[in-house]
Each structure stands twice: as structure tokens, then as C-alpha cells.
Amino acid sequence: MTNHFQNDLVEILKERTAKGQISRRQMLQGLGALMGTTALGLGAGSAQAQEGRLVFVNWGGDALDAMDAAFGQPFAEETGINVLYDGSGPTEGAITAQVQGGRPTWDLVDAEPFSSQALGRQGMMEPIDYDVVDPAKQREGFHWEYSSSCYFYSYVIAYDATKYDTPPTSLADFFDTEKFPGKRSMYKWGAGMWEAALLADGVAPEDLYPLDLDRAHAKIEAFKEHVGAFWGGGAESQSLLLNGDVSMALIWNTRASLLHKDTEGEITFTWDDGIIGPGGIGVLKDNPGGKEAAMNYIAATQEPERQVVLFQMLGNGPSNPAADALIPEEERRFNPMDPANLPKQVALDMAWYEENYSAALDAYLQIISA
Amino acid sequence: MRPVLFLICPVLLFLGASYLLPFLGIVQLSFTDPDPGLAQYGRVLTEDLPTGVIWRTLRLCVIVTAVSVSCAYVITLLWVRGSPLVRSITELCIMIPFWISVLSRAFGWLSMLSNRGLLNTWLQDLGLIDSAIQMTRNEFAVVVGMSHYLIPFAVFPLATAMRNVDERVLTAADGMGASRLRIFWQVFLPMTASGIMGATLLVFVFSIGFYVTPALLGGGQSVLVAELIYLWLFQIPQWGMAAAMSVVLMLGVGGILFILMRRYGEMAK
């Protein structure tokens, strides 16, 4: 029920108290805020600007520990600024609520670059300071005004290898249930799925954008009966394949790599026709920890060695191309940005998403939930 | 009476401040974001996505309510009128799920019903089916998961009604030669109607706001109202639409409550 979200927040508070990241008094304030005072704005008093501390909000799970180990701890050693990782999920709406409420408590967010761009244009994000953040340590084609490229993932075809003698090698295969029988799973929030449908339908990668949504939706609608489930989160996508509910799925490469390792290749994936999704770090307007500290943090995450740590813990591809070569040879096959894997894939166009995501997702949900 | 009213004043103030005021804010938002006017209501009530979601939610909630109240009726009957042993076993079966979080229960059902889950494995081992039957990631799973959560809520109003049944009326019916089945249908069931009404109301109103269970068990194919509101709040922010949808939901639930309460009130007389 709807209470779950608040319970989750309580859990996070407890966890953080246990880790000594926030004091007991702050926890009580937090609990008080959850019990209703936030709605009145009374809880806002506890969110004072705090020097020497940054709050980084990501999507939770393993990313909390991984980002802390890869970036937070070395940054604290260098600068004395502690970074707290909070997994409550920096959706566009949550960031808007933070900024519009005045006195945001978040500094940095692991938000979709197109979200940061849209919010930035409404004056809710700080422009990235490219004098501090080094554009030379980023990949060609992934520069945004309000979001700094920080990692990459990919929507890849993962499949149950025990069910297919010849493995699928393209999105056309994914959409072909005669050659490759069995249920499929796709992403519930649309991103990457329109591209997949169009590529399978014969659109050339260079002609993808602007997306022909009508054509993509027609393809998905005709295919829908073969989709056993539309997954909404990484863990769910993993269990769909593990439980045998579906035999092929378009899922994040991070989860696909885990499945490959956990099942010793019984469930595996291909980079062919993968769809690259870029991740980015954004900074909230008037962030409590100060703009300068936030930009310094972003610059520190560009260190290739630290990006390798993140890759090894989470499976995300590095945003700094210099990191690719530092990854041990036997692990490179799991890096979406590796020179051997990247050419097989296409990347999502953030400018298109900024303009069109909202309307496209409305239409997509209309089709998949009908 | 007066001193009692005075004593509950703080509660009313608290409820007013913590629920009514924010709700008025939502109402305001629904008329003003992004532009002033009724456009958001127009879209919520005419566009395909929101109307489709509203109908699906209502349909699913009616099914869930019917399933939960029927199951709860049988369980309550065992609990109230069974032998002492049956009573304590049913009591455990009612209370234990009550203590388990909604998330764990949804995952429990997943491992029970999925293609390599317990049920499919047993059926295959027994040779009753050849290949797994898909029982999760669809509306069937949503109904199972939601009903399982809601049954205990239906049990309590039913139990009160059943305990209030005058034993002598049943004895009298028996004495007049009615069969057990007839006593149940014509005497016992009508006498517990108020409990059925209360349970139906409670379960239905609860079910409309469900979010986690349908999201996990529905396989993304049964988006309900609560999830759509979440989507419009966070994923693709259109706060005016989310607010308008919330107000429509409030009015809808309020209206249903009002009608049922009036009927329920009459039946209780």
C-alpha cells in the first residue's frame, strides 16, 4: 500500500542512524516530518545549509555502497567534505518538490540527463561549471548544460541460453517469436523500447531520431501478446528471467551481467543492438552544500581509477574513456563502452527525451496496460 | 456531551491541519497547474489513458472486494462458530499475515505462483500439467495478492455482526423444521448483512489506493490509479493532472461511501 514509501524512508533513516551518518536528533526530526509535518512545511527548519557536507541522491540498492566506495570516500579524504548517499530516487517530480519548497536538502542528483536539462531550463538546476569539470574527460556527444556525464548503461537482449540453440543476435530476433519462441519482457517506463521496436522494424540506427512513435507503438501493440511482463525495476527484470517467467528480455546490462555470472552463462546477453543510456550528475539550484563543493565532487568522479571501482561494483560503463583500458582484460566484455562492444550499440538521444518523453510515455502506457 | 466535544477538539484541529489544508492545496493545484481552469479535469475525464486506468481500477477493486468479502465470510464463520481448535487455528491464520509487510507478501506470492514457483513445480511433479501455467504478472495475481492483504480487514466487521446474531433465533428456526442450509440463507446471512456491508465498504475503499501489490504482481500491465498519480507526480511531472486525478478519486470514493452509508444506515435500523 501507499504506506510502503514512507516505511522505506523510515528504514533509510534508521540505516543512516545506525551508520552514524545522521544524529539521533536529526532522525527524530525526520520521523516527525514523515508523520505529517512535512505537509505543513514545518519540517523545513531541519534542512539548514551545511558546510563540509554534500548529499548525493541516487536510486538506492547497491549503488549506495558502490558510489560511496568509488567516489565518496576518496573525496572525503581529499577535501574533508563528507558525502551522504541517499537512495530515495531523484525523479523529476521529487527534484521539483525539493527546489520549489525553498531550502533544498539535496546537493547532487543521479538524475536522467534529460530531466536535469528540463529542470535546468526552468531555473531549478545549476549549470555545470566546465572550468572545474573537465570536458576532455568525457565522451564525445555526451555533454549537457545541466548534467555532467558520469556513467553509462545499456538496454541489452538477455536470454535463457538453455532454451535457444542459436542465440539471438538482433532486435529483429527479439521481436521474432517464431524463430525464438517464448515470452518476452520489456521496460515499463518506455525508454529504449521505442528505439528497440523501430530498429527491429528496419529503421537504420542513424535515422532513429526523431522517433516515429506511431510506427514504434504499432510494432509494440502487435507484439504485446508475447510480452509476459513489463518490468519496472532492475531487481524485477532479473527475477523474471531467473524464475523462468520469460525467456528473453530487454534489460539493463548491469542486471544482465549479474545474471550471466550468477547462472554461469545459463542466462546470458548480447551487446548486439544494445541501446546505450547515459547517466549524469546534476546540481540543484542553491544547494545547501554550496555550488563549488558540488562541482569539485563531480570533477573528482572523473578520475578513471574511481570509475573502474564503480564499474567493478555496479557494472556501469565509465564516462571517462581513459578508464576503459584500466579495466582488467577478462572483465572488459561486461563494459558497455568497451571499444569492442560500443560499435554494436546505439545511444538514447537526451534532447529528444527532454522534449517528448512525457507524451510518449503516456501513449506507451496506454498501449501496454490496455 | 459538551466536555467530550471539547476533548476531541485537538484531534480535529490536528486532522484539519494535517489533512484538510494540504488537500485544499491539492484542489487548488488541480485548477491552476499549468493554466487556470478546468482543463486538467477535462483531460482526466476524457483522455484514453486516465479513463482507461479509472475503469480498470474500479473493475479490479469490485472483483477484489467480492473475493475478499466472500473468503472472509467463510473464515469468520470458522473463527466465530467453529470448535475451540478450529477457532485458534483460524485466529492464527488471520493474525499472522496481518503482521507481514505488504512488500514481503507480494514477493511471497511471486515465489508461490511464478513459472518456476512452488505451485507450478508441484503441479508438474504430480503430472497434472505439462508446462507451467502463467499465474503471475497478470490481473489474476493482482486479485490474489490484494485479496490476501484485505481479507483480515473484512474479518473484523463480519465477526462483530456474527457475534451479535441472537442464538435463540437460530434455535427457533431449527425448531420450526428449517434445514441447516435454509437457516443459513434465510436467517443467518440476512442477520449479518450489516457486517457484510461494513466489510465491503472498508475493503473497497482500501483497495482503490493500492500501489505496491498491483505494481509488483501485475507485470506492468495493470496500471491502477495510484500508480498513475505517482507517475504524474514524479516520473513525468504534471502536477495539475495528478491533483485533478486525486480529487476525482476522492470524490468518487466519497460518493460511493455516502451512498453505501445511507443504505447501510437503513439496513441497520
pLDDT tens per residue across span A129-163:
999 999 999 999 999 999 999 999 999 999 999 99
Q: How far apart are CA A266 and CA A314, in angstroms?
A: 21
In a domain, B65, yes or no: yes
Domain range enclosing B81:
41-100+146-268
Q: Which residue has the cell 449479518?
A: B192
**A188 contacts chain B (CB < 8 A):** yes
**Quick one: closest CA in B to A237, which residue?**
B219
Q: Which residues contact B167 (CB under 8 A, 6 or more apart)?
A: none
Percent of residues in chain B assigned helix, strand, coil, to nearest 5: 80, 0, 20
| Predicted pLDDT at B98 | 84
Query: Cβ contacts (< 8 Å) between B137 and chain A: which residues?
Result: 228-229, 240, 245
Cβ-defined contact of B134 to A40 (cutoff 8 Å):
no
Structural domains of chain A sorted by starting position, each given as residue range(s) with its CATH number in brackets: 7-26+49-151+278-330 (3.40.190.10), 153-276+345-368 (3.40.190.10)
pLDDT at A38: 39
A102-112 burial: b if 16+ Cβ within 10 Å, else e: eebbbbbbbbb
Tens of pLDDT along A281-310? 999 999 999 999 999 999 999 999 999 999
Has residue A167 got a pLDDT over 60?
Answer: yes
Query: Across the interface, which of B111, B222, B226 has its CB nearest the CB of A2?
Result: B226
Q: Under an 8 A CB cutoff, do B236 and A92 touch?
A: yes
Q: What is the pLDDT of residues A325-334, one digit of tens each?
A: 999 999 999 9
Nearest to A93 among B17, B149, B234 (CB): B234
Its pTM stands at 0.85
- Closest-CA residue to A307 (of A287, A325, A330): A325
A243 inside 8 A of chain B by CB: yes
Q: Which of A1, A6, A7, A184 to mutate to test the interface with B (most CBs of B within 10 A)?
A: A1
User: CA-to-CA distance for B265 and B253, rounded, in angstroms?
Assistant: 18
- Find the CB nearest B220 among A91, A188, A245: A188
Q: So what's the ipTM on this one?
A: 0.84
What does the pLDDT read at residue A32? 42
C-alpha cell at A48: 539548514
Within-domain flag for B36 = no
Report the b/e string of A268-296 with b at 16+ CB within 10 A: bbbbbbbbbbbbbbbbbbebbbbbebbbb
In a domain, B150, yes or no: yes
Distance, in Å, from the CA atom of B191 to the CA atom of B177, rounded to the nearest integer, reads 19
Cβ–Cβ gap B209/A2 under 8 Å? yes
With a cut of 80, say whether residue A1 has pLDDT above it. no
Q: What is the mean pLDDT of residues A48-68?
A: 86
* Mean pLDDT value across residues A166-189: 96
Mutate to test the interface with A, among B137, B203, B211 (most CBs of A within 10 A): B137
Per-residue pLDDT tens for A180-207?
Answer: 999 999 999 999 999 999 999 999 999 9
Number of Cβ atoms within 10 Å of the Cβ of B84: 7
Chain B contact for A92 (CB, 8 A cutoff): yes
Does A6 touch chain B if contact means CB atoms closer than 8 Å? no
Say if the Cβ atoms of B21 and A361 lie within 8 Å. Answer: no
Instruction: Judge whether B116 lies within some domain.
Output: no
pLDDT at A238 over 80: yes
Model confidence pLDDT, tens digit, residues A19-55 = 444 454 444 444 444 443 333 333 333 344 457 899 9
From the first residue on, what is the mean pLDDT of each consecutive set of 10 residues in chain B (269 residues)?
A: 75 89 93 92 94 94 97 96 94 89 90 90 91 88 94 94 93 93 94 92 91 89 91 93 94 86 65
Does B236 contact A4 at a Cβ distance shorter than 8 Å?
A: no
Work out the minimum CA distance from A78 to partner chain B, whole angstroms.
Answer: 35
If one counts the domains in chain B, the total is 1
Contact between A2 and B211 using a beta-carbon 8 Å cutoff: yes
Across the interface, whether the CB atoms of B49 and A362 are under 8 A apart is answered: yes
Torsion of CA B233, B236, B238, B244, to 10 degrees: -60
Residue A9 pLDDT level (bands cut at 50, 70, 90):
very low
Does any domain span residue B140? no
Beta strand A82-86 pairing with A53-57: parallel
Mean pLDDT score of chain A? 89
* B183 touches B173 (CB < 8 A): yes
Q: Is the pLDDT of residue A60 over 50?
A: yes
- Establish if B51 belongs to a structural domain: yes
The CA distance from A304 to A296, in Å, is 15
User: Is there a cis peptide before residue B214, judged by omega within 30 degrees of 0?
Assistant: no
Tell me if A93 sits within 8 A of A323, measured CB to CB.
no
Q: Is B177 exposed, middle or buried (0-12, 13-18, 19+ CB in 10 A)?
A: exposed
Main-chain phi, psi angles of A121, to 5 degrees: -65, -20
Domain containing residue B49: CATH number? 1.10.3720.10
Could you tell me the pLDDT band of residue A126, with boundaries at 50, 70 and 90? Answer: very high
pLDDT of residue B136: 87
Q: Is B77 among the domain residues?
A: yes
Residue in chain B closest to A230 (alpha carbons) equals B220
Question: In this complex, which of A228, A240, A369 lies closest to B223 when CB atoms are compared?
Answer: A369
- Measured between beta carbons, the chain A residues lying within 8 angstroms of B234 are 89, 91-94
- Please tell me the predicted confidence (pLDDT) of residue A75: 97
DSSP string covering A126-159: EPP-TTTS-GGGS-TT---SS-EEEEEEEEEEEE
Whether residues A1 and B212 touch (CB distance < 8 A) is answered with yes
Residue A335 pLDDT class (50, 70, 90 cuts): very high
> Are A362 and B236 in contact (CB < 8 Å)?
yes
Shortest Cα distance, chain A CAs vs residue B135, angstroms: 9
Asked if the Cβ–Cβ distance from B101 to A358 is below 8 Å, we say no
